[in-house]
Amino acid sequence: MNTGNHLTEIRKRAQLWLNGNYDAETKRQVRELLENNEKELIESFYRDLEFGTGGLRGIMGVGTNRMNTYTVGMATQGLSNYLKKEFHGISQIKVAVAHDSRNNSRLFAETAVNIFSANGFKVYLFDALRPTPELSFAIRYFSCQSGIVITASHNPKEYNGYKAYWDDGGQIIAPHDKRIIEEVQKIRSIDEVNFKASPENIEIIGKEIDEIYTDQITTLSLSPEIIMQQGELKIVYTPIHGTGVKLVPMVLRKFGFKNIITVPEQDVPDGNFPTVHSPNPEEQAALAMAIKKAEEANADLVMATDPDADRVGVAVRDHKGSFVILNGNQTASLLIYYLLTKWAEKNKLTGKEYIVKTIVTTELLAALATHFRVGYFDVLTGFKYIADIIKHFEGKKTFIGGGEESYGYLAGEFVRDKDAVMSCALIAETAAWARDQGKSMFTLLLEIYKEFGFYKEKLISLVRKGKTGQEEIQQMMRDFRANPPVTINKTKVTEVIDYLSDASLRKVNEKNKGIKIPKSDVLQLITEDGSKISIRPSGTEPKIKFYFGVKEKLNDIREYEKVNKLLDEKIEQIIEDLKIK
Please give the positions annotated as active site: 153
What's the burial of 169, exposed, middle or buried (CB within 10 Å: 0-12/13-18/19+)?
A: buried
Question: Rounded to a whole number, what is the distance in angstroms from the first to the last CA of the chain?
Answer: 28
Helices (H) and strands (E) in the chain, counts: 19, 21
Element (H, E) at 99: strand 94-99
Cα separation of 346 and 78, whole Å? 49
CB 336 within 8 A of CB 370: no
Q: How far is CA 156 from CA 85, 103, 289, 325, in A?
A: 36, 11, 18, 21
What's the burial of 579, exposed, middle or buried (CB within 10 Å: 0-12/13-18/19+)?
A: exposed
Cα separation of 89 and 101, whole Å? 36
Helices (H), 374-419: 383-393
CB 189 within 8 A of CB 20: yes
Using alpha carbons, select from 19, 69, 9, 72 the residue that is nearest to residue 42. 9
User: Phi and psi dihedrals of 256, rounded to 5?
Assistant: 115, 5
Length of the chain, in residues:
581
- Residue 198's SS3 state is coil
